[in-house]
Every structure is written in C-alpha cells, then in structure tokens.
C-alpha cells in the first residue's frame, strides 16, 4: 500500500520531529531490502564504504560494525545531524563521517570507496545518468555498488504519488548504470516473486 502524502514527502526529504518519526517507519518497512542489499554488498573489514540517502539510518550500525570506514551522505540536513549525534564515538574516532549532499553532485573525492550502497533513493534523483555517474565516479576501479528499489510497475500497482516519486523501471536504471561505466550489472531478488530488486554493479 502506498504511504499517505505527508509521509511520502518525508520519505523524499525527512525534516524535523515528524521526519524522525518517518525515519523509524522507514527502518521497519525497508528492513528486508536493506538487509538484502548489505548481504549482497559483502562488506569486508578493510573496506571503505559509502551510503547515499540513509534516511532513518537502519544500515549505519551494521555498516560501521563491518567496514574500516563509513561515509554517509543525505540531502536532509536533519538526518545528517541525527546520525552525527548517534554515531559521535565513531565520528570522533575517525571511522565515520556524515555529510549533507545530493547524489547528483556528491561531496566526495573520486575513486575512494570499495563499496557503495543506496536503497530507496532512485525515485528522488533528479537525473538517473547524473546519479549513476556520481556513484561510478566515487568508487575505486573494481568497486561494488548495491542499489535497491521498488521498480515502476510495482509502484504503479501500489498507487505511489507520481508527483513525489519518479517511477523507475529496472531496465532504465540498468541502462543508466551501464552508460555510467559499470561493466557488470546483475539484478537480484530474494525470491522470484519479490516486488523489489537490488542491482549489484561493478
């Protein structure tokens, strides 16, 4: 079922107290997709990892537990502030940093990450080619991307509001990733009839 409009607006850009509440909802509703994406990403203790669009932050703890370093970017100033406070010890120890930024122009140097993940964000990108290009740019050669989302057909069936969510087909996302320079692009679902997918690209 599609979320009510007020919640949908905070999924796109969480703000304030209500945004924090919606962050908790996201953590519960999206937990299976996020866990599956992390499983596919297969983070090693030597990996430098980035997450883009972390929202409620359900993945931050597991990524910090596994990776050598985590950089997490979100366009919402509020979620960046919450994550910085929540993971203050890791930030002070130099193991994590949280930044305000947009996928279309990531505030990150090129070629510095072994793994990057982004889950439930493609609906809000202003441009698929720009986002895909930025994800490729910040990965090292041979680095791995996990990109999880609900494709257009399922979003249409569930009645997501089209003025807040841009519906993306799996084929369009795959094409944008290939055009951005990812040579191998695989589509994964935990079961054949799962509505969402996680694309792994390298």
List 119, 150, 155, 180, residue binding ligand SAM (CB under 6 A)? 119
CB of 76 to ligand SAM, least distance (A): 4
- Cβ neighbors of 104 (< 8 A, separation 6 or more) are 125, 126, 127, 130, 131, 134
80 contacts ligand SAM (rule: CB under 6 A) = no
Binding segment (CB under 6 A) for ligand SAM, from list 42-50, 68-76, 172-180, 185-193 = 68-76
Strands 139-149 and 113-119: parallel
124 sits near ligand SAM (criterion: CB under 6 A) = yes
Q: Which is nearer to ligand SAM, 54 or 113 (CB)?
A: 54
Extract the runs of DSSP E, i.e. beta strands, from the chain: 48-52, 69-74, 96-100, 113-119, 139-149, 185-188, 197-201
Sign of dihedral through CA atoms 141, 48, 170, 187?
positive
Give which of 151, 146, 133 is closest to 200, Cα–Cα.
Answer: 146
Whole-number minimum distance, CB 191 to ligand SAM, in Å? 19
d(CA 51, CA 56): 12
Select from 11-19, 40-48, 86-94, 135-143 the region that touches ligand SAM (CB under 6 A).
11-19
In angstroms, the CA 170 to CA 80 distance is: 29
Which of positions 169-198 make contact with ligand SAM (CB under 6 A)?
none
Q: Does 167 bind ligand SAM (CB under 6 A)?
A: no
Q: Which of 3, 53, 143, 151 binds ligand SAM (CB under 6 A)?
A: 53
Tell me: does residue 125 bind ligand SAM (CB under 6 A): yes
């Amino acid at each position: 079922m599609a979320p009510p409009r007020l919640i949908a607006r905070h999924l796109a850009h969480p703000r304030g107290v209500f945004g924090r509440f919606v962050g908790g909802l996201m953590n519960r509703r999206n937990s299976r997709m996020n866990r599956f994406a992390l499983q596919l990403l297969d983070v090693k203790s030597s990996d430098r990892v980035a997450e883009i669009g972390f929202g409620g932050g359900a993945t931050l703890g597991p990524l910090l537990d596994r990776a050598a370093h985590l950089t997490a970017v979100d366009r919402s100033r509020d979620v960046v502030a919450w994550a910085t406070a929540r993971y203050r010890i890791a930030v002070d120890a130099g193991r994590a940093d949280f930044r305000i930024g947009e996928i279309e122009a990531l505030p990150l140097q090129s070629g510095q990450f072994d793994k990057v993940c982004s889950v439930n964000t493609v609906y809000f990108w202003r441009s698929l080619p720009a986002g895909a290009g930025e994800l490729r740019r910040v990965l090292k050669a041979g680095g791995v991307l996990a990109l999880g989302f609900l494709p257009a057909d399922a979003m249409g069936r569930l009645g997501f509001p089209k003025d807040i969510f841009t519906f993306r087909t799996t084929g369009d996302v795959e094409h944008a990733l290939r055009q951005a320079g990812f040579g191998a692009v695989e589509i994964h679902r935990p079961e054949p009839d799962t509505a969402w997918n996680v694309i792994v690209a390298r």
